[in-house]
Chain A
Amino acid sequence: MSRRCAIVGMDIIAALGVGAEAVWSEMMRKSCGIRPLTRFPRGKYATDFAAELSPEAEGMSGAYALAVGVGRRLLDGSAGAAARARTARTGLVLATTKAEIREIERLALEPGADVTGRHNPYVLARDVAKELGLAGPVMAVSNACSSGLIAIVQAIRLLRRGAADMMVVIGVDVLADFILAGFSALNALSPRPCRPYDAGRDGLSLGEGAAALLLTLAPRQADVVLGVVAGWGIANDACHITAPSRTGDGLRAAVTRALAAANLSPGDIHYINGHGTATLYNDAMEAKALYGVFGDGDRMPPLSSLKGYLGHTLGAAGVIETVLCLMAMREKTVPACLGLERLGVERPLNVPREHLPLQRLTRVLSVKCGFGGINAALVLDGEAE
Chain B
Amino acid sequence: MASIAQPQTQAIPQRRPKSETGIWSWITTVDHKRIGMMYGVAAFAFFLLGGLEALLIRTQLMHPANGVVTEAQYNELFTMHGTTMIFLAIMPLSVAFFNYIMPLQIGARDVAFPRLNSFSFWAFILGALMLNLSFFFGEVPNQGWYGYAPLTDLSWNPTRAVDFWMLGLQILGVSSVAGALNFITTILNMRAPGVTLMRMPLFTWTTLITSVMMILAFPSITIALFLLTMDRFVGTGFFAPAAGGDPLLWQHLFWVFGHPEVYIMIMPAFGIVSEIIPTFSRKPLFGYSVMVYSVVAIAFLGFGVWAHHMFTTGLGPTANSAFAATTMLIALPTGVKIFNWIGTMWLGHLKFTTPMLFAVGLVSQFTIGGLSGVMHAVVPVDEHHNDSYFVIAHFHYVLFGGSIFALLAAIYYWFPKFTGRLMDERLGKWNFWTTFVGFNLTFFPMHFLGLEGMPRRYYSYGEGSGWWFWNIIVSFGAYFLGASILLFVYNVARSLKTGKIAGDNPWDASSLEWSISSPPPVYNFKNIPVIEHRDPLWAEKYGIDHETGDENEIEITFAGETMGKTEAPDDSVASQERRRRQEAANQDHGIHLPNRSFYPMLVAVGMFVLCFGKIIDNPIIHIQSLSLPIVSVIGGIIMLGAIYGWSFEPAD
A and B are interacting partners: no
Chain B interface residues (CB < 8 Å from chain A): none
Chain A interface residues (CB < 8 Å from chain B): none
